[in-house]
Amino acid sequence: MTGALDGIRILDLTRVLAGPYATMILGDLGADVIKVEAPGGSDDTRFWGPPFQNGMSAYYAAVNRNKQSMTVNLKEESGKETIRQLAQTADVIIHNFKTGTMERLGLGYDDLSSINPKLIYCSITGFGETGPYRHLAGYDYIIQAMSGWMSINGTEQSGPLKVGVAVTDIFTGLYAAIAVQAALIAREKTGNGQKIDLSLFDCAISALVNVASNYLMSGEVPKPLGNDHPNIVPYSTYEAKDGLLVVAVGNDRQFQALCELLEDQAIGADERFRTNAGRVAHRHELNHRLNNELKKKTRAEWQRLFEQKSIPCGPVHTLDQVFQHPQTLARNMIIRMDHPDVGELKLVGTPLKFSHTPVTYRLAPPLAGEHNHLFIEGGSKHDEL
């Protein structure tokens, strides 16, 4: 069976994370993705390491499978003409150059849509193509700072902290994949392509969800809560006898079921903790008392008891534990792909599970210009495009 996006050709002029993550998702879904770089490879992540495997960085390998690679010199007119030629038959072009760069190259939306009116043109920038910050570059770390994400991570003692993964890039990559697919559906109805203007800044603000809504409704600036939840208690990490355990109680019924398992029956009888609103108001005392109780058993013991009562919980895992976990293995979240020069690569699998158009892993992350011979007449002009 073919993938859901089989037959869709995507011209990928992105690098680092947000764009390559989006195009990998689309490639996993069956699209034909052509990754375009400058001669020698201009995706910075090719050089971000260690670790490396036979010259390929782990960072680059994480988000560049199911793509073919060609190198193009956009400083030369011949390189620009190559992009114009490819745009004639492409369904989608995605780039993450700074605002105005593609227009200066003569490769903006107006330029390419005049060649191919059905073209879907997705621009990914730090701050978008409008507004006073439109010309600034945007790295995830800067966006986490400016969008408020760092202000809600960490504790009052630690000060603002970034999330351990470049989440604003990931959000933007996901939004880009969603937007491209929506534009493809719209094209089926109208026959026309369109431009998509995405920014890391916008996507990061959107992903604040309930925390943003809390502020907009109350006017209160949220403080960092560490592992606590701003709206639900108990919903945090607790110390079991042998390590940290997350307990996520989502309603009053679950809380009463939790209290029935504790030696200190006074916790469940305390009127202050009867409702979630009361528990939020008295979070510090409740969490302190729960921590004292949960130290009395191991994580496995608590998990067994909590599962019997349908109370959500789980141990805090390190990555070695994650990738050895039977659920990870059962869901095929570790895949292996062979590259003739790099060898066997272990990669994270897709979370997308389809019954009729399954994801396929067709191409290992490519070397720069690895597939030039497929796109260049004669097949030997690696660095001259």
pTM, entire model: 0.92
Kindly state whether residue 222 falls inside one of the protein's structural domains: no
Cβ(30)–Cβ(4) below 8 Å? yes
Total domains in the chain come to: 2
In a domain, 101, yes or no: yes
Same domain, 61 and 197: yes
Domain match, 197 and 268 both: no
**Whether residue 335 sits in one domain with residue 303:** no
For 85-138, strand residue ranges (E) read 92-95, 120-125
| The pLDDT of residue 377 | 56
Q: Are 75 and 365 in contact (CB under 8 A)?
A: no
Q: Does residue 60 fall inside a structural domain?
A: yes
Domain membership flag for residue 219: no
Give the pLDDT of residue 385. 36
Whether 125 is covered by a domain: the verdict is: yes
Q: What is the pLDDT of residue 383?
A: 40
Q: Cα(385)–Cα(372) distance, rounded to whole angstroms?
A: 9
The pLDDT of residue 2 is 86
Judgement on whether residues 42 and 163 belong to the same structural domain of the protein = yes
Question: What does the alpha-carbon distance between residue 352 and residue 26 come to, in Å, rounded to a whole number?
Answer: 11
Domain that holds residue 240: 235-318
In degrees and rounded to multiples of 5, residue 144 shows phi and psi of -60, -40
Catalytic residue among 169, 242, 264, 341: 169
Q: Are residues 13 and 87 in the same domain?
A: yes
| Catalytic-residue membership of 202 | no
Residue 197 is assigned to a structural domain of this protein: yes
Residue segments in the chain with a per-residue pLDDT below the cut of 70: 376-385
Asked if 196 and 246 sit in the same domain, the reply is no
